[in-house]
Amino acid sequence: MIPAEDLTDQTVRALVTAINDGDRAAFLGLLTDDAVLTDDGSQRDLEEWIDREIFTVNGHLDVESQSADGQSLVAAYRNDRWGQMRTTWSFTVIDGKISLLATGQA
């Protein structure tokens, strides 16, 4: 596993830390105003999804690997709703903010 503090992209590192700390405000602060979230290729209502899948169910990411640019991750993701699953997370980062978060099962 790669500790969050060792992730190379500082915005992605901060987002993973926000997820693992249960810090919804910090998570939202890392997104552009028009950020888009997709789950298994389908666009979702971002705030509704993060509440249901992360912040009300103790979501936690254990990163297994990252891409060379640090903007794509493979991680063991767990929450109280679904248990643990292997997932992918890809981010489009513009000026230190995430405009696209794409996640899905690996």
Domain ranges of the chain: 4-105
Please give the CATH architecture assigned to the domain spanning 4-105.
Roll (3.10)
Nearest one of 89, 16, 30 to 5, comparing CA atoms: 16
pTM, to two decimals: 0.96
- In this prediction, residues 30-45 reach a mean pLDDT of 98
Residue 42 is classified by DSSP as E
| Chain mean pLDDT for the chain | 97
Query: Which residues touch 100 (CB under 8 Å, ≥6 apart)?
Result: 35, 36, 37, 38, 90, 91, 92
- In this prediction, residues 66-74 reach a mean pLDDT of 98
pLDDT at 105: 95
Q: Give the model confidence (pLDDT) of 76-95 as tens digits.
A: 999 999 999 999 999 999 99
